[in-house]
């Protein structure tokens, strides 16, 4: 009887150890402009995903609360279409420390690479370096369909993601140069597949990457403008993987 009880307790302890630990996510998101519809749908989906995968999300719409103590509550920072300018000084300092020292993970989308001189703000050089030393150059304002090709299939964020997949509607930013020399590119868009075709191209065009020069696990995913991305199984899988990997789960 004692042996049976011991085995039951041992199995129970193994089950508890096997269960993923709950973690907290901070999502800095845009709730205005033309990204509002994406934000609305993304919030609903993220809350559902969190309930399934064991995390909760706190949402903020500006950087006023961000400092070292505030960020210490979270194991993952989601930059949900929020641009890298107009942050408070204490927020920029805390975020840099959070990433450089690996205090948590980061997943950024779309607008997170809107790097340059915008709305009277100077370019955040640290963030430009974090994104591979790039600055924003142009975009397809009228949108285009494009095929994304996975380049590193064995990376955890690409588990279950097809080798290539279509994104039906995207702005496809271009930058002053490809970030490839400074980051680990995981996927790129094939500009020859754009529909309709146009002149806004950059040749080598990474759209998913991670910067291995900082301690924090991090993933940048360019695609993040249209709410119809939530209907794209490949994008949903990519983002789900990225959240769990960046959070160390």
Please give the model's pTM, rounded to 2 decimal places: 0.91
Q: Which structural domain, as residue segments, surrounds residue 119?
A: 22-246
Query: How much is the pLDDT for 30?
Result: 84
Query: How much is the pLDDT for 17?
Result: 43
Cα 246 to Cα 211: distance, rounded to the nearest angstrom: 12
Task: Of 140, 185, 137, give the one whose Cα is nearest residue 167.
Answer: 140
Pairing of strands 218-221, 105-109: parallel
| Residue 5 domain-assigned (yes or no) | no
Instruction: Tell me the angle at which helices 233-246 and 36-53 cross, rounded to the nearest 10 degrees.
Output: 60
Query: How much is the pLDDT for 190?
Result: 98
| Residue 228 domain-assigned (yes or no) | yes
The four Cα atoms 25, 217, 173, 233 give a dihedral, to 10 degrees, of -70
Cα 219 to Cα 128: distance, rounded to the nearest angstrom: 14
pLDDT, one tens digit for every residue, the chain (249 residues): 555 444 444 444 444 344 457 999 999 998 777 678 899 999 999 999 999 999 999 999 999 999 999 999 999 999 998 999 999 999 999 999 999 999 999 999 999 999 999 999 999 999 999 999 999 999 999 999 999 999 999 999 999 999 999 999 999 999 999 999 999 999 999 999 999 999 999 999 999 999 999 999 999 999 999 999 999 999 999 999 999 999 999
| Residue 106 domain-assigned (yes or no) | yes
Cα 31 to Cα 24: distance, rounded to the nearest angstrom: 21
Provide the CATH number for the domain around residue 242. 3.40.50.880
Q: What one-character-per-residue DSSP string does 8-70 give?
A: HHHHHHHHHHHSPPPEEEEEEE--SGGGHHHHHHHHHHHHHHHHHHTEEEEEESSSTT-SHHH
Query: How much is the pLDDT for 62?
Result: 96
Residue the block writes with tokens 């995390």? 55
| Residue 8 domain-assigned (yes or no) | no
| Residue 14 domain-assigned (yes or no) | no
| Number of domains comprising the chain | 1
| Residue 206 domain-assigned (yes or no) | yes
| Residue 92 domain-assigned (yes or no) | yes
Helix runs in 101-153, H state only: 125-130
SS3 of 144, please? strand
C-alpha gyration radius of the chain: 19
CA quadruple 66, 129, 180, 202: dihedral positive or negative?
Answer: positive
| Residue 11 domain-assigned (yes or no) | no
């Amino acid at each position: 009887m004692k042996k049976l009880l011991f085995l039951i307790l041992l199995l129970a302890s193994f089950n508890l150890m096997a269960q993923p630990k709950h973690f907290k996510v901070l999502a800095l998101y845009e709730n205005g402009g033309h990204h509002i519809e994406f934000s609305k749908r993304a919030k609903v989906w993220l809350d559902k995903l969190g309930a399934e995968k064991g995390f909760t999300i706190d949402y903020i719409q500006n950087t006023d609360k961000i400092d070292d103590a505030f960020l210490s509550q979270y194991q993952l920072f989601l930059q949900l279409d929020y641009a890298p300018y107009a942050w408070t000084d204490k927020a920029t300092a805390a975020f840099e420390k959070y990433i450089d020292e690996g205090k948590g993970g980061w997943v950024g989308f779309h607008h997170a690479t809107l790097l340059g001189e915008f709305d009277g703000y100077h370019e955040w050089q640290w963030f430009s370096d974090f994104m591979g030393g790039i600055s924003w150059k142009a975009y397809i304002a009228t949108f285009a369909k494009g095929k994304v090709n996975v380049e590193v299939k064995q990376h955890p964020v690409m588990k279950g993601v097809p080798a290539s997949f279509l994104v039906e509607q995207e702005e496809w930013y271009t930058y002053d140069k490809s970030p490839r020399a400074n980051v680990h590119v995981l996927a790129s868009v094939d500009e020859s597949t754009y529909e309709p075709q146009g002149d806004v191209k950059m040749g080598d065009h990474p759209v998913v990457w991670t910067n291995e020069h900082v301690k924090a696990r991090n993933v940048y995913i360019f695609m993040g403008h249209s709410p119809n991305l939530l209907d794209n199984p490949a994008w949903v899988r990519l983002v789900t993987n990225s959240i769990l990997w960046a959070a160390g789960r």
